[in-house]
């Protein structure tokens, strides 16, 4: 029997502090990854890269939400047309702040536009709000017992059933692929202090509406606005983050914060300046077809040309498999598209491990300038990793696996020539 998949958020601290360790790691080159970060990655348990390692590591049994490919069936589709039902709710003890339409407009059309840009048009995210006013719940907010990390039962199960009872006379739930519950922002603590937003996806034995089980529901609370520059304009990104869980994308932050993947993916940090998905996640979501992915296997050296992630053309992702579950990924990031805070364009190198679960660090970014403090001072962005990309003639080497990655060329359009050397 398939295990129910619960998407509870373990939210990172709002202000991120990079925690360094004293672990000694066998890494070396003209420019290397941050030893403290990579020391905690599972690649250290392996040896030299295997020539026959797969270009598409499969999901690992027992890992609730894996970076493996393809994403197991049962997820919400991430290509084509997606119809999202949005319901704005309030409570007898917490009346709606402003109007329900205003709450809806906090997230749309920006969420739809964000996904259109990120997916190169592969995902047509259509948002519907058939009930244009606050849906009043029959119980007080406090009665549901909702807190950070709350399980689905009993509180959320009761809340979902109450939402169904209130909305069903005016909503045909059969028309939609997922449900967004936009809670009045004055219910619960401020997101600056405690983030309650959560997604429940793929659960069994859930309430039904119009014969449809409500298996994919995202709840958004409060506002991700601490008053810092860009915060209010980009606060909507909590919803793209939550919906991505319904697509099967894991959290990249850990209990210690966003120090493993930094601001390079909305699944790591969704506060502050705008950011995008990593190319690996775009591949996982089905957006990198048409020859936009390359894989470096075998022995010896190979040369690859990567185009900036934000543009529509060219190869976007290079993967260097090391084992059955993990390897190094390379992509080119620039300040374009959804990326607003890229202060050092270049080749971003990161470790991806399908055997590491959501919230435990399945992606670790290699820092081209360890302990530099970074080049961007954006609020709510991991500063140390903002200058992580590798520039012209910079090289990453991993002596443990025998893999090296060097940027050997760059043209006026931002395309990077990358040489990979394998043992």
- Domain residue extents for the chain: 35-70+256-422, 80-247
Q: Where are the alpha helices (DSSP H) in 10-168?
A: 35-38, 100-105, 110-118, 157-167
Peptide bond into 314 cis (omega under 30): no
**Predicted structure pTM score:** 0.90
* Tokens 């599972």 -> residue: 42
Q: DSSP for 316-350?
A: -EEEEE-SSSEEEEEEEE-S-TT----SS-EEEEE
Tokens representing 232?
Answer: 């209010």
* Tokens 């760059």 -> residue: 410
pLDDT tens for the chain, 423 residues long, are 222 334 333 343 332 222 222 222 222 333 444 443 443 344 444 689 999 999 999 999 999 999 999 999 999 999 999 999 999 999 999 999 999 999 999 999 999 999 999 999 999 999 999 999 999 999 999 999 999 999 999 999 999 999 999 999 999 999 999 999 999 999 999 888 889 999 999 898 999 999 999 999 999 999 987 777 777 788 999 999 999 999 999 999 999 999 999 999 999 999 888 999 999 999 999 999 889 999 999 999 999 999 999 998 999 999 999 999 999 999 999 999 999 989 999 999 999 999 999 999 999 999 999 999 999 877 788 899 999 999 999 999 999 999 999 999 999 999 999 999 999
State the pLDDT at residue 35.
40
Residue 1: how many other CB atoms lie within 10 Å:
4
Beta strands of 147-251 (E only): which ranges? 178-183, 198-201, 208-209, 212-213, 216-220
State the pLDDT at residue 46.
61
State the pLDDT at residue 378.
77
d(CA 10, CA 73): 24
């Amino acid at each position: 029997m398939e295990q129910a998949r619960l998407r509870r958020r373990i939210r990172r601290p709002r202000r991120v502090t990079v925690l360094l360790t004293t672990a000694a790691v066998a890494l070396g080159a003209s420019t290397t990854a941050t030893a403290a970060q990579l020391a905690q990655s599972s690649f250290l348990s392996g040896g030299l890269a295997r020539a026959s390692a797969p270009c598409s590591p499969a999901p690992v049994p027992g890992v609730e939400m894996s970076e493996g490919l393809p994403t197991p069936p049962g997820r919400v589709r991430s290509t084509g047309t997606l119809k999202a039902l949005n319901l704005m709710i309030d409570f007898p003890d917490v009346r709606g702040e402003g109007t329900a339409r205003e709450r809806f407009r906090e997230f749309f059309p920006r969420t739809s536009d964000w996904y259109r840009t990120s997916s190169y048009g592969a995902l047509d995210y259509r948002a519907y709000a058939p009930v244009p006013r606050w849906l009043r719940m029959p119980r007080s907010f406090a009665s549901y017992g909702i807190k950070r990390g709350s399980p689905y039962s009993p509180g959320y199960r009761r809340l979902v059933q109450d939402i169904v009872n209130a909305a069903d006379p005016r909503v045909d739930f059969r028309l939609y692929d997922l449900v967004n519950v936009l809670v009045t922002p004055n219910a619960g603590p401020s997101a600056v202090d405690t983030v309650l937003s959560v997604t429940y996806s793929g659960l069994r034995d859930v309430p039904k509406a119009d014969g449809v089980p409500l298996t994919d529901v995202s709840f958004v609370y409060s506002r991700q606005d601490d008053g810092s520059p860009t915060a209010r304009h980009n606060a909507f990104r909590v919803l793209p983050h939550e919906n991505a869980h319904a697509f099967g994308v894991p959290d990249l932050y850990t209990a210690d914060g966003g120090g493993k993947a930094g601001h390079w993916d909305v699944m790591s940090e969704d506060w502050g300046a705008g950011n995008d998905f990593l190319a690996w996640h775009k591949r996982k979501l089905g957006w990198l077809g048409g020859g936009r992915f390359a894989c470096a296997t075998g022995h010896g050296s190979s040369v690859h040309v990567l185009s900036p992630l934000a543009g529509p053309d060219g190869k976007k992702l290079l993967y260097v498999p090391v084992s059955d579950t993990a390897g190094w990924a390379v992509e080119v990031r620039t300040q374009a598209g959804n990326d607003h805070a890229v202060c050092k364009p270049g080749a971003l190198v990161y470790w991806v491990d399908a055997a590491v679960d959501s919230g435990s660090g399945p992606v670790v970014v290699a820092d081209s300038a360890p302990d530099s403090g970074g080049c961007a001072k954006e609020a709510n962005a991991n500063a140390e990793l903002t200058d992580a990309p590798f520039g012209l003639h910079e090289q990453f080497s991993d002596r443990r696996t025998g893999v090296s990655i060097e940027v050997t060329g760059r043209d006026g359009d931002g395309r990077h020539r990358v040489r990979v050397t394998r043992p």
